Amino acid sequence: MSHTDATRAVEAVWRIESARLVAALTRMVGDVGLAEEFAQDALVSALEKWPEEGVPDTPGAWLTTVAKRRMLDRWRRDERFRLRMADLGREIQENDGQAEFDAVLEEDYGDDLLRLMFVCCHPVLSTDSRVALTLRLLGGLTTDEIARAFLVPEPTVAQRIVRAKRTLAKRRVPFEVPVGEDRDARVSSVLEVLYLVFNEGYTATSGPDWMRTDLCEEAMRLGRVLVGLLPKEREVHGLVALMELQASRFRARVGPDGVPVPLLEQDRSRWDRLLVNRGLAALDRSLPADPADRRGPYSLQAGIAAEHARAATPEDTDWMAIAVLYATLVEVTASPVVALNHAVAVSMAVGPGPALALVDRLRDEPALEGYHPWSSVRGDLLSRLGRGEEARAEFERAAELTRNERERDLLLERARRE
How does pLDDT run across 132-182, given as a tens digit for each residue? 999 999 888 889 888 877 878 999 999 999 999 999 999 989 888 888 778
70 and 91 assigned to the same domain: yes
Q: Is 334 left (phi over 0), alpha (psi -120 to 50) or beta?
A: left
Mean pLDDT of the region 14-38 = 85
74 and 115 assigned to the same domain: no
Give me the percent of the chain exceeding a pLDDT of 70.
Answer: 90
Mean pLDDT of the region 375-402 = 96
Mean pLDDT of the region 246-255 = 93
Number of domains in the chain: 4
pLDDT category, 46, cuts 50, 70, 90?
A: confident
Say if 324 falls within a structural domain. no
> Does pTM surpass 0.75?
yes
Q: Domain ends where: 40, 74, 107?
A: 107
Of residues 241 and 25, more confidently modeled: 241
253 and 197 assigned to the same domain: no
Say if 14 falls within a structural domain. yes
pLDDT category, 297, cuts 50, 70, 90?
A: very high
Question: Which is nearest to 345 in space by CA: 362, 368, 315, 320?
Answer: 320
Distance of alpha carbon 27 from alpha carbon 25, whole angstroms: 5
Say if 216 falls within a structural domain. yes
Mean pLDDT of the region 351-367 = 95
Which amino acid, one-letter code, is at 91? E
Question: Which is nearest to 35 in space by CA: 169, 147, 130?
Answer: 169
Of residues 79 and 366, more confidently modeled: 366
Q: How far is CA 99 from CA 92, 315, 396, in A?
A: 10, 65, 67
Which amino acid, one-letter code, is at 47? L
Q: How far is CA 232 from CA 113, 182, 401, in A?
A: 17, 17, 41
Say if 327 falls within a structural domain. no
Q: Domain ends where: 224, 247, 267?
A: 224
Of 111-115, 284-288, 348-352, 375-379, the poorest mean pLDDT is in: 111-115
355: CATH: 1.25.40.10
pLDDT category, 351, cuts 50, 70, 90?
A: very high
Mean pLDDT of the region 338-348 = 97
Question: Which is nearest to 120 in space by CA: 108, 131, 104, 105?
Answer: 131
90 and 187 assigned to the same domain: no
Say if 323 falls within a structural domain. no
Say if 411 falls within a structural domain. yes
309 and 342 assigned to the same domain: no
pLDDT at 4 over 80: no
Distance of alpha carbon 298 from alpha carbon 277, whole angstroms: 17
Mean pLDDT of the region 314-324 = 97
- Give, rounded to a whole angstrom, the gap between the first and last alpha carbons of the chain: 60
22 and 89 assigned to the same domain: yes
Q: For residue 73, what pLDDT is reported?
A: 82
**pLDDT per residue over 117-136, tens digit each?**
999 999 999 999 999 999 99
Of residues 309 and 113, more confidently modeled: 309
- The conformation of residue 1, written as its DSSP 8-state character, comes to -
Sign of the alpha-carbon torsion through 86, 45, 11, 142 = positive
Sign of the alpha-carbon torsion through 87, 88, 93, 94 = negative
Q: For residue 84, what pLDDT is reported?
A: 66
The answer to whether the beta carbons of residues 257 and 263 sit under 8 Å apart is: no
Q: For residue 104, what pLDDT is reported?
A: 47
Distance of alpha carbon 177 from alpha carbon 253, whole angstroms: 39
The helix/strand/coil state of 293 is coil
96 and 137 assigned to the same domain: no
Q: For residue 347, what pLDDT is reported?
A: 97
- Beta-bridge partner residues of 353: none
119 and 196 assigned to the same domain: yes
Q: Domain ends where: 48, 79, 107?
A: 107
207 and 239 assigned to the same domain: no
10 and 92 assigned to the same domain: yes
Structural domain including 190 reads 108-224
Q: For residue 207, what pLDDT is reported?
A: 59
Helix (H) or strand (E) holding 63: helix 59-77
- The DSSP result for 306-363, as a single string, is HHHHH-SSGGG--HHHHHHHHHHHHHHH--HHHHHHHHHHHHHHH-HHHHHHHHHHTT
Q: For residue 357, what pLDDT is reported?
A: 97
Mean pLDDT of the region 286-298 = 91
Say if 273 falls within a structural domain. yes
* Mean pLDDT, rounded, of the chain: 87
140 and 214 assigned to the same domain: yes
55 and 91 assigned to the same domain: yes
Question: Which is nearest to 117 in space by CA: 142, 150, 139?
Answer: 139
Say if 353 falls within a structural domain. yes
CB-based contacts of 133, cutoff 8 Å, min separation 6: 120, 125, 160, 161, 164, 165
The answer to whether the beta carbons of residues 46 and 63 sit under 8 Å apart is: yes
**pLDDT per residue over 65-112, tens digit each?**
888 888 888 877 877 777 666 655 554 444 444 455 555 445 444 578
